[in-house]
Amino acid sequence: MPELPEVEHVKRGLEPYVIGETIVSVQFSEQVKKSHENGKQAIIKGKGLAHFSDHVKGYKMNRIERRSKYLLFHVERASSTAFLLSHLGMSGAWFAIDSVDQITEDKFRSHVHVIFTFESGRLLIYSDIRRFGELRFLDKLEDHPPIIAIGPEPFDQNAQELFLASLNLPKFNSKPVKEVIMNHQVIAGCGNIYATEALFKSRIHPKRAVSRISLGKRIELFNNIVSVLQEGIDAGGSSISDYRNVNGQAGSMQDRLQMYGRKECPKCGSNVKQAVIGGRNSHYCGKCQR
Ligand SMILES: [Zn+2]
């Protein structure tokens, strides 16, 4: 599943191609259309396909912002502003190209579900193998509360202060630390891969209750979350399964992961243990992480 570094790369990859472009039309795949006919709303969420396509037409792309794992396209038409919100789900990918044939990998090319055509003739294509991703047109962000509830971005100046304050809240204090740092109200964009890595670096057991972690260790953990996310960005993201950047390239962070998906601890050689924490499978070293 794409996490913060991967989504950041998608954003950076799209920017040079889409900023300043105006949407003239949008097409949906047969699967998306069928799903909407059956009331299931695959990918396009909100008020239906007709509403979506009527609303996005004529909008110019002004800016792309990443919030946690969401991409927010800031769009404008006749001085009224709106947002196109994108979440990649498990396997979503964006391509800014001239034709669908330019998508080199079959699995992405055969799962193209949404095609925006720009005034320049260039296409902005959304492909999604498993169709868990989402796209929404929003007049204002308040119309979609989950985006408003997201905590600070890890690289924001006030992020550490708000992270530490959240950890002191009664609702988080007694919970396993891994579950808490994966909560986007505490810190944005720290998913399973990067939470696993940050806890290993900090030598903290993922099940440890927040209340049993000293202030010094909490700060160390925060700093490690920021550094693994930065490392992920620097490495072009992790391509564990289906992540690709807008040029169809995989990232290399998966080769640098110390604990996620490992069988043996790189520090002490012990067998890596697994446990389900907060609904997610977690890898950890029972010896190095306490
Ligand atoms: Zn170990």
66 an active-site residue? no
Rounded to whole angstroms, the Cα distance separating 63 from 246 reads 16
Out of 3, 6, 8, 134, the active site residue is: 3
Distance 215 CA to ligand 1 centre (A): 23
Q: What pLDDT was estimated at residue 110?
A: 93
Q: Give the H or E element holding residue 177.
A: helix 177-181
Closest CA to 182 of 274, 257, 278: 278
Domain hosting residue 55, numbered range: 4-148
Judgement on whether residues 107 and 190 belong to the same structural domain of the protein? no
Judgement on whether residues 8 and 143 belong to the same structural domain of the protein? yes
Asked if residues 248 and 103 have their Cβ atoms less than 8 Å apart, the reply is yes
Number of domains making up the chain: 2
Distance 289 CA to ligand 1 centre (A): 7
Judgement on whether residues 67 and 41 belong to the same structural domain of the protein? yes
2 an active-site residue? yes
Distance 232 CA to ligand 1 centre (A): 22
Judgement on whether residues 133 and 197 belong to the same structural domain of the protein? no
- Calculate helix-pair angle for 215-234, 159-167, nearest 10 degrees: 130
Q: Give the H or E element holding residue 200.
A: helix 192-201
Amino acid at 58: G
Residues of the chain with pLDDT under 70: 240-243
Asked if residues 238 and 195 have their Cβ atoms less than 8 Å apart, the reply is no
Closest CA to 26 of 46, 56, 48: 56
Distance 253 CA to ligand 1 centre (A): 20
Q: What pLDDT was estimated at residue 82?
A: 96
pLDDT of 33-87, one tens digit each? 999 999 999 999 999 999 999 999 999 999 999 999 999 999 999 999 999 999 9
Closest CA to 85 of 113, 45, 40: 45
Asked if residues 284 and 263 have their Cβ atoms less than 8 Å apart, the reply is no
Amino acid at 79: S
Out of 45, 109, 280, 287, the active site residue is: 280
Judgement on whether residues 48 and 89 belong to the same structural domain of the protein? yes
Q: Please return the burial class of 149, using the count of CB atoms within 10 Å of its CB with bins 0-12, 13-18 and 19+.
A: exposed
Domain boundary among 124, 148, 172: 148
Amino acid at 220: E
Closest CA to 86 of 96, 74, 103: 74
Distance 268 CA to ligand 1 centre (A): 4
Judgement on whether residues 68 and 109 belong to the same structural domain of the protein? yes
Judgement on whether residues 105 and 184 belong to the same structural domain of the protein? no
40 an active-site residue? no
| Rounded (10°) CA dihedral 16, 17, 19, 21 | 160
Where residue 85 sits, what CATH number does that domain have?
3.20.190.10
Out of 67, 69, 178, 201, the active site residue is: 69
Q: What pLDDT was estimated at residue 251?
A: 82
Domain boundary among 103, 121, 148: 148
Rounded to whole angstroms, the Cα distance separating 32 from 132 reads 12
* E-state strands within the chain: 23-28, 43-44, 60-67, 70-77, 80-87, 92-97, 112-118, 123-128, 134-138, 273-277, 280-284
Judgement on whether residues 124 and 43 belong to the same structural domain of the protein? yes
Judgement on whether residues 143 and 221 belong to the same structural domain of the protein? no
Distance 205 CA to ligand 1 centre (A): 11
69 an active-site residue? yes
Q: What pLDDT was estimated at residue 98?
A: 92
Judgement on whether residues 67 and 195 belong to the same structural domain of the protein? no
Q: What pLDDT was estimated at residue 176?
A: 97
